[in-house]
Amino acid sequence: MAPQKRPVEEVDSLLNDVRVVLCDIEGTTTPLSFVKEKLEPYITENLESYLDAHYDEEEMQADVKSLRELAVKDKEAKTEGVVEIPDTTDSNKADVIKALVKNISWQMGQDRKSTELKQFQGHIWREAYKRGKVQAELFEDVAPAMQHLMEEGIMVCTYSSGSVDAQKLLFGHTTDGDLQELISEFFDTTVGPKNESDSYKNIVQKLAQDGQEMLAEEVIFLTDIPAEAAAAVKAGMKCALVERIGNPELTDEDRMNYPVIETFDELFGDDDEEDMKRLATEGNGDAGDDDDEDDDDDLGEEEEEGDEDEAEGEADEA
Ligand SMILES: [Mg+2]
């Protein structure tokens, strides 16, 4: 049986004193199935022809060089299954491409998050998006919530293992249109891996550099992965786990440790369907309230138990 959701009054405080909402992408803003069933297969299906068509370009040769250097490091570290990439000569294009296909397929099969691989993937996806072969999917609550946050003066940033270029492409080509202007900063693993707290400290520092002071506790990180949440919290950030359809199930312990939301709408402390419709049409939460649907923080104390049960029932069905 699913454990009970945290009380509304606790969720209500998620955006208190928050100036930045930092979003993970896969499993948080975007279904895992989009990555697994659309983006990754696109590479598998187009890898060889892409390498062949762009082989002589400067960008491609830079990618090849960094993938080759990674393979050398992998070899030195005795990484199992590593595929080496021969040095480029005037006459060995076919051999290099053959090795690249094997190396990239091997890395993807291992679900590696190497910056070298992500960089190359970003380049192949750029062509896919620009040619209209791929359109990014977002959960339907994401774009309206990002818009709403921007209107409230809260910055939205992303932090993903996908490269910054790949993130910009994704948000630039969504089924909801080009949403890049809703996102203030994109962060990738050049700030560090997602399960290390130093990475989140680096992000706070970078946010501070872009203008004014920034405290870690003024940032809330939204992710589907508890280990990432733990790293962010260790760095002083607030955090909520996002439970989406298609994600691996959270454990009871995860639910005890972190607030859990199912949609970004819940950031606004308001999972009542009617209120969400009102927010969507008015673009803010402070108009037209009557006495019994007050948004104040003390609502929970006054709320009768019956109402809470009803709210839980609705949330479970959603
Ligand atoms: Mg994720």
> pLDDT tens digit string along 89-103?
989 999 999 999 999
CA of 247 to the centre of ligand 1 (A): 9
> pLDDT tens digit string along 50-68?
999 999 999 999 999 999 9
Q: Which residue has the higher pLDDT, 148 or 293?
A: 148
Task: Tell me 28's DSSP state.
Answer: T
Kindly list the protein residues that place their beta carbon closer than 5 angstroms to ligand 1, a single-atom ion.
24, 26-27, 224
CA of 139 to the centre of ligand 1 (A): 13
Angle of CA points 45, 50, 51, to nearest 5°: 115
CA of 32 to the centre of ligand 1 (A): 8
CA of 90 to the centre of ligand 1 (A): 42
CA of 189 to the centre of ligand 1 (A): 13
Q: What gap in Å lies between CA 105 and CA 115, rounded to an integer?
A: 15
From residue 298, alpha-carbon distances to 10, 13, 44, 294, 302 in Å are 11, 11, 53, 9, 7
Query: Given this model, what pLDDT does residue 276 score?
Result: 54
Q: Which residue has the higher pLDDT, 299 or 106?
A: 106
CA of 226 to the centre of ligand 1 (A): 10
Say if residue 302's pLDDT is above 50: no
Q: Which two tokens stand for residue 104?
A: 């990239």
Place domain 8-30+136-317 in its CATH homologous superfamily: HAD superfamily/HAD-like (3.40.50.1000)
Q: Which two tokens stand for residue 261?
A: 């939301």
Say if residue 83's pLDDT is above 90: yes
CA of 30 to the centre of ligand 1 (A): 9
Residue 163: is it exposed, middle or buried by C-beta count within 10 angstroms (0-12/13-18/19+)? buried
CA of 194 to the centre of ligand 1 (A): 10
CA of 25 to the centre of ligand 1 (A): 6
Mean pLDDT of the chain: 85
Coil/strand/helix, residue 30: strand
CA of 38 to the centre of ligand 1 (A): 16
CA of 39 to the centre of ligand 1 (A): 15
CA of 77 to the centre of ligand 1 (A): 28
CA of 81 to the centre of ligand 1 (A): 26
CA of 305 to the centre of ligand 1 (A): 35
Average pLDDT over residues 28-47: 95
CA of 28 to the centre of ligand 1 (A): 6
Which residues in the chain are classed under CATH 1.10.720.60? 34-130
Which residues in the chain are classed under CATH 3.40.50.1000? 8-30+136-317
Q: Which two tokens stand for residue 151?
A: 């209107």
Sheet strands (E) in the chain: 20-23, 155-159, 185-187, 219-223, 238-242, 260-261
CA of 225 to the centre of ligand 1 (A): 6
From residue 53, alpha-carbon distances to 20, 79, 165, 237 in Å are 41, 30, 21, 45
> pLDDT tens digit string along 123-182?
999 999 999 999 999 999 999 999 999 999 999 999 999 889 889 999 999 999 999 999
CA of 27 to the centre of ligand 1 (A): 4
Say if residue 277's pLDDT is above 70: no
How many other β-carbons are positioned within 10 Å of the β-carbon of residue 294? 11
Q: What gap in Å lies between CA 299 and CA 39, rounded to an integer?
A: 44
CATH class of 34-130: mainly alpha
CA of 68 to the centre of ligand 1 (A): 28
Query: Given this model, what pLDDT does residue 11 score?
Result: 47
Query: Given this model, what pLDDT does residue 209 score?
Result: 75
